[in-house]
Amino acid sequence: MRLRPQYHFRPGPNGLRAWDVRKLITLAEALPIEAVNIEEITELDAPYWYAHGEQPTTRSIVGHMRLMNDADTAFPILLCEDGHIMDGMHRVAKRVLDGHKDVLARRFLKTPPPDFEGVSPGELPYDT
């Protein structure tokens, strides 16, 4: 499976922090897989995809719906040490839509350092 270049973003003391999701997946390969109750995913009640100034449009929502439809829920989501999503919100949304109560996850015991700090999403490489 070829994964499209993508990043996980969080605000930090020096601006936006970004993690390369492909690197996170590699770092998490040895972590155990656990079933996490979907009610523990706090991001479900937050503007997860629109948290950095983007406005939801019908077109962008349709794009996320396509990603949900294509999501492989057998592939575990990634959680940081505090239980927040670092990768996999489309898989979580698909599990919710399909009526499931849990989602497979790998949880970092210590959150890896970000790959970039003080960046905007448009400054990152998406073509490799």
| Dist CA 105 CA 91 (whole Å) | 10
For helices 58-70 and 89-97, the axis angle rounded to 10 degrees is: 80
- Domains with residue ranges and CATH for the chain: 7-109 (3.90.1530)
Q: Which alpha helices (H) appear in the chain, and where do they start and end?
A: 21-28, 58-70, 89-97
In a 3-state reduction of DSSP, which class is residue 48? helix
Single-letter code of the amino acid located at 68:
M
Predicted confidence pLDDT, tens digits, the chain (128 residues): 567 789 999 999 999 999 999 999 999 999 999 999 999 999 999 988 887 778 899 999 999 999 999 999 999 999 999 999 999 999 999 999 999 999 999 999 999 999 999 988 888 888 76
